[in-house]
């Protein structure tokens, strides 16, 4: 296969040149500012992409699932941050075990989470590195900044744990859209709040060598607050329709598309393509509308999707011919990737390679 015209559809396309540019751009920005980058692997789930990121100088990776940790350890990565709290016997046991192989920093936001991890580490005669998760506004996991020092005292007092610092996921910065200035203001606030917590920890005699923020919408603001040591953007490698809608990327930065074929056009309200929820994922649009964005087709939208069917609306649908091909930009790259087992790696319309997608549920 040499041209995307020869690929079966639906097909997940990854443009290598765009990917490389995205990886290089953030590496340049962070390298110049002395910020370490620990990208999240959940976006790409692919060792070939991880190797590009390693070649660009990342210090390690962020993971959410055990399978992601295993995948990266199998490729010789030695520094991971496992951002899902170690709750439950299986995850606790693996968190301790994985640290025999490499540094796998665990995240805790309460003594309830830290206690059993400590007990397991002690039972195994080892020490597990941890950072405290701080809620800087997202309202997901994380202790409130004002209660972090007290938690640090408790965690530092537990045997078998080594407190390395603090982290936050400032996903809420996207709430500032469509105003980029407001997104950046929120990113800077989140970074400042985290630095404040790190300072408070140090005042009480705790180590805070890691002060870690992480998100793509906040990637050019939160890490640049003095005192932040590392950033964990993941989606930046591919970008997607949601980042485009937020204004945090432009169309030319979007490396991931789904190639699809028009399979029916009965002159009704919609024309129908062979990419639906199982190709694009059901992840919502930040605009509240549609399942993906037909690329360079302002006259088309994708407001409805079944499993294997996408419904195209808009004035452009009338002229669509059965057999015609289109590219759709997924709303959320990470969700779309998780639906597939491989990428077709392309350069424009030319097919270069096929890369496996691993560590899916």
Ligand X SMILES: Cc1ncc(COP(=O)(O)O)c(C=O)c1O
The per-residue DSSP string of 313-338 comes to: ESGGGGGPPTT-EEEEEES-HHHHHT
**214 in contact with ligand X (CB under 6 A):** yes
Report CA-CA distances (Å) from 114 to 88, 152, 163.
11, 10, 11
- Taking CB under 6 A as the criterion, the residue among 85, 235, 257, 281 binding ligand X is 235
The CB-of-73 to ligand X minimum distance in angstroms stands at: 19
Distance CA 212, CA 44 (A): 20
Span 71-90, contacts to ligand X by CB under 6 A:
83
In the shown chain, the binding pattern of residues 141 to 180 toward ligand X, with x for contact by CB under 6 A and - for none, equals: ----------------------------x-x---------
**Dihedral over Cα of 63, 68, 72, 73: its sign:** positive
What token pair was written down for 336? 């779309």
The CB-of-26 to ligand X minimum distance in angstroms stands at: 10
Span 21-40, contacts to ligand X by CB under 6 A:
40
**183 in contact with ligand X (CB under 6 A):** no
Scanning 46-54, 71-79, 183-191, 229-237 for contacts with ligand X by CB under 6 A, the matching segment is 229-237
The CB-of-97 to ligand X minimum distance in angstroms stands at: 22
Spatial contact of 38 and 59, defined as CB atoms under 8 Å apart: yes
**331 in contact with ligand X (CB under 6 A):** no
**44 in contact with ligand X (CB under 6 A):** no
Residue 225 preceded by cis peptide, ω within 30: no
**187 in contact with ligand X (CB under 6 A):** no
Dihedral class, residue 160 (left if φ above 0, else alpha if ψ from -120 to 50, else beta): left
Q: 274 forms bridges with which residues in the sheet?
A: none
Please give the biggest Cα pair distance in the chain.
71
Considering the complex, state which of residue 151 and residue 286 has its C-beta at the smaller distance from ligand X.
286
Considering the complex, state which of residue 39 and residue 160 has its C-beta at the smaller distance from ligand X.
39
Closest C-alpha among 257, 247, 241 to residue 14:
257
User: Using CB atoms within 10 A of its CB, is residue 130 exposed (0-12), middle (13-18) or buried (19+)?
Assistant: buried
**110 in contact with ligand X (CB under 6 A):** no
Considering the complex, state which of residue 22 and residue 260 has its C-beta at the smaller distance from ligand X.
22
**131 in contact with ligand X (CB under 6 A):** no
Scanning 211-219, 290-298, 311-319, 337-345 for contacts with ligand X by CB under 6 A, the matching segment is 211-219
**Chain CA centroid to CA 67, Å:** 15
Considering the complex, state which of residue 64 and residue 261 has its C-beta at the smaller distance from ligand X.
64
The per-residue DSSP string of 244-256 comes to: HHHTSS-GGG--E
Distance CA 42, CA 162 (A): 26
The CB-of-177 to ligand X minimum distance in angstroms stands at: 13
Considering the complex, state which of residue 53 and residue 216 has its C-beta at the smaller distance from ligand X.
216
**302 in contact with ligand X (CB under 6 A):** no
Q: Name the helix (H) or strand (E) containing 277.
A: helix 277-280
Considering the complex, state which of residue 234 and residue 292 has its C-beta at the smaller distance from ligand X.
234
The CB-of-133 to ligand X minimum distance in angstroms stands at: 8
Q: Which residues bind ligand X (CB under 6 A)?
A: 40, 43, 62, 83, 169, 171, 214-216, 232-236
């Amino acid at each position: 296969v040499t041209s995307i015209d020869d690929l079966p559809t639906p097909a997940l396309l990854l443009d290598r040149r765009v990917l490389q540019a995205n990886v290089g751009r953030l590496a340049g920005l962070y390298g110049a500012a002395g910020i370490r980058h620990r990208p999240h692997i959940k976006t790409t789930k692919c060792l070939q992409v991880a190797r590009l990121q390693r070649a660009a100088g990342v210090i390690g990776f962020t993971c959410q699932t055990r399978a992601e940790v295993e995948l990266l350890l199998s490729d010789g990565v030695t520094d991971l941050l496992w951002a899902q709290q170690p709750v439950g016997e299986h995850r606790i046991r693996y968190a301790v075990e994985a640290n025999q192989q490499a540094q796998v920093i665990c995240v805790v936001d309460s003594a309830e989470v830290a206690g059993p991890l400590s007990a397991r580490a002690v039972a195994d005669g080892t020490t597990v590195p941890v950072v405290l998760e701080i809620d800087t506004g997202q309202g997901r996991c994380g202790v409130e900044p004002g209660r972090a020092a007290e938690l640090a005292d408790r965690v530092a007092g537990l045997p078998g744990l080594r407190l390395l610092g603090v982290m936050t996921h400032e996903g809420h910065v996207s709430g500032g859209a469509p105003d980029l200035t407001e997104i950046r203001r929120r990113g800077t606030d989140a970074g400042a709040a985290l630095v404040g917590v790190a300072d408070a920890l140090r005042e009480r005699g705790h180590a805070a060598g890691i002060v870690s923020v992480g998100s793509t919408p906040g990637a050019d603001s939160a890490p640049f607050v003095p005192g932040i040591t590392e950033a964990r953007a993941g989606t930046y490698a591919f970008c997607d329709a949601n980042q485009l809608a937020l204004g945090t990327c432009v169309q030319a930065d979007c490396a991931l598309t789904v190639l699809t074929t028009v399979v029916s056009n009965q002159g009704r309200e919609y024309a129908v393509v062979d990419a639906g929820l199982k190709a694009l994922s059901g992840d919502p649009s930040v605009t509240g509308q549609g399942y993906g964005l037909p690329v360079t087709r302002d006259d088309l939208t994708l407001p409805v999707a079944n499993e294997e069917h996408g419904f195209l609306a808009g004035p452009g649908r009338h002229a669509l011919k059965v057999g015609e091909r289109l590219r759709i930009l997924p709303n959320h790259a990470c969700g779309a990737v998780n639906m597939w087992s491989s990428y077709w790696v392309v350069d424009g319309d030319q097919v270069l390679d096929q890369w496996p997608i691993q560590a899916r549920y």
